[in-house]
Amino acid sequence: METGGNRLECRTCPYEHPIETTIFSRKNFPRKEKDDVFGGPGAWDNAQKQLVQCPASNCDGSEAAFFQVQIRSADEPMTLFYKVFLTGFEAKRAGKY
């Protein structure tokens, strides 16, 4: 029998079947719609507000809404999400503040 190619073989007897054609199968699965975990379009309506300096260099916004979510394990700090009202700039920060 030839060597170097792919083959199917029986584990209980010496039978071997060489694979001569490419075995390939691709399935395209439809993507699921992502759920908006933060509450959709009205998520920022009841968020806390604070005076802050926007981190974007070309932004002069001074007021931002923020909220904290525990998305990692309990021994990790909460993740802070914030949005600048003037420009709509959104950012996420994880870690100690």
Res. 47: pLDDT tops 60: yes
Domain spans in the chain, listed from the N-terminal domain onward: 45-97
Say if residues 73 and 66 touch (Cβ distance below 8 Å). Answer: no
Region 19-47: mean pLDDT is 78
pTM of the predicted model as reported, rounded to 2 decimal places = 0.46
User: Do 61 and 87 contact (CB within 8 A), yes or no?
Assistant: yes
Residue 38 has a pLDDT of 63
Neighbour-count burial for 53-74, b at 16+ CB within 10 Å, e otherwise:
ebeeeeeebeebbbbeeeeeee
* Model pLDDT, residue 95: 61
- Its CATH class, for the domain covering 45-97, is mainly beta
Residue 96 pLDDT level (bands cut at 50, 70, 90): low
Per-residue pLDDT, 97 = 53
Higher pLDDT pick, 10 / 63: 10
